[in-house]
Amino acid sequence: MLIPRQAEILDLARRVGRVGVEELATRFDVTPQTIRRDLNELCERKLLARVHGGAVSQSGIENMEYGARRTLAADEKASIGRCAARLVPDEASLFINIGTTTEAVAHALLQHRGLMVITNNINVANVMRVHPGFEVVIAGGVVRTADGGIVGEAAVDFIRQFKVDYAVIGASAIDDDGALLDYDFREVKVAQAIIANARHVILVADSTKFERTAPVRIGHLSQVNTFVTDRCTVRTIRKIAHDNDVTLIEAALPGEPADV
């Protein structure tokens, strides 16, 4: 049995994905040492997984709620979005797929001119459709109620009609061996079609994705041209990027230097 505080910590981690020691100590008005003991016990029971400064949900088969994903590493995603948007020139054609980080890229692209955007992400379409200089094309298929993503074979067939300049894709998890992972095999099929039909593939994913796992393989880091993240401390990922000529960009938060 868990004590009430530990049960609440577990529930919070499952809802938002990651919890921090200092934030929890403030929330429960206890010392950081108390929270560390709670997290260690939850991790010993394999209910959470310990990461630097806190813990993450152990679930590897179900993604967290879309609104919660938006708030997780929100500043980092905004910084990634700005960096990725700078890689896309005006008058370009591009795919943008499902995800909160790809949505951040869409917001940053609103400063551009003359883009043609093909997406299977209703949220991205809503962000970009109001721009008078953009042509926004949305895929047909099954709309996922959880996040407004359009998935399924109809969406795959639709994507295959195009050959675009750029693709902006996300991933729910990135393994140390460079595998790009997700939770829904229907979404993965769309992502694979996007990768196959773009001249330059930009992967956008914040550093929490190195701490997560998911059951379905999208592809491999070596299949992308540019990887934009907030920071990458995983040595094997850096080596895979270097060995496969993948440009690794670590986006700077305000006041921090960027490492390109």
Using one digit for the tens of pLDDT, what is the confidence trace for 99-145? 899 999 999 999 999 999 999 999 999 999 999 999 999 999 889 88
pLDDT in tens, 80-92: 999 999 999 999 9
In what helix (H) or strand (E) does residue 7 lie, and over which residues does it extend?
A: helix 4-16
Side chain identity at 141, as an amino acid letter? G
Which domains, ranges and CATH numbers included, belong to the chain? Answer: 4-58 (1.10.10.10), 72-250 (3.40.50.1360)
Q: Please give the average per-residue pLDDT across 209-229, as a whole number.
A: 92
Contacts of residue 218, defined as CB under 8 A and 6 or more positions apart, other chains included, come to 169, 171, 180, 181, 182, 188, 191, 192, 195
| pLDDT greater than 70 at residue 255 | no
